Amino acid sequence: MSRKLLLKQERCTGCRSCEIACSYHFSRTFQPSKSKIKVTWDSCKGEMKISIGTMCDLCQGEKESEPLCVRFCAPKAILYDPGDAEP
C-alpha cells in the first residue's frame, strides 16, 4: 500500500487553505496559483470540488508527518493515508 490523500468533497467549505499550504511547499510563497491542489465550485452538483494535480509529492521533505494541505484543512476534507510508511 502506498501513501495517498483521501478526499471528502462534501466537507469542503471552499476556504482554500489547502491551496495556500500547498503553494508554500512548492514555492515558499502564499500564492494559490502555485498550488498543486485546486478548489473550485461545481455548479452542476452545487458543491465544492477538490482536485489534486499529478505533481503532488505529498510534501516530501517537509518536517511534518502529514502533507501541509491535510494539516491546514480545518473541516477535514483532505485526509492522509500513510499506507505502509514507517511512523
pLDDT in tens, 23-63: 999 999 999 999 999 999 999 999 999 999 999 999 999 98
Q: For residues 5 and 45, what is the distance between their CA atoms, to the nearest angstrom?
A: 22
Please return the burial class of 1, using the count of CB atoms within 10 Å of its CB with bins 0-12, 13-18 and 19+. exposed
Cα dihedral across residues 52, 49, 9, 25: positive or negative: positive
pLDDT surpassing 60 at residue 87: no
Per residue in 17-31, pLDDT (tens digit) is 999 999 999 999 999
CB 53 within 8 A of CB 37: yes
Give me 69's grid cell: 494541505
The pTM of this model reads: 0.87
